[in-house]
Amino acid sequence: MTLGDGRGGGQAAPVASAVTPSFPPPWARAALLLLVATTACSLYRSVIPAAPPVGVDLNRASRERIADLPGLEPSDADRIIENRPYDTKDAVLRRGIVTREQFDAIAGRIYVGRSAGRTRD
């Protein structure tokens, strides 16, 4: 079939394409998948709490508990308690409360929990 003045010599009529666009487009599907995955991960974190830290909390532990750490004496425990609170566990080294050797011996056994007061760092 041709268009034109009826003499047979014109342009061919447009034919509908057999290819239909996919809906939604691939980029939109990827964005939706990312949104669903991000939401699921954040919900998982809010439902499943993190495991509590293991070891001795420098901001709350008793003198006896701190003195039981390897390489520490009761006098070291007293110094640690007197200089509370700490913002990070390496603050006891940075502030000169324990030696490098003492810190290396206890680093894997201590952590710093939240304290009620302000930090000195």
Q: Which domains does the chain have, with CATH numbers?
A: 2-47 (no CATH), 56-111 (1.10.150.320)
CA–chain centroid gap for 18, Å, is 49
**Which pair of tokens denotes residue 48?**
């499943």
Q: What is the pLDDT of residues 19-44, one digit of tens each?
A: 666 677 888 888 888 888 877 767 66
Task: Supply 35's token pair.
Answer: 């949104």
Residue 73: the pLDDT is 96
Residue 89 DSSP code: T
* Coil, strand or helix at 111: strand
pLDDT in tens, 80-114: 999 999 999 999 999 999 999 999 999 999 999 98
Using pLDDT thresholds of 50, 70 and 90, give the confidence band for residue 13: low
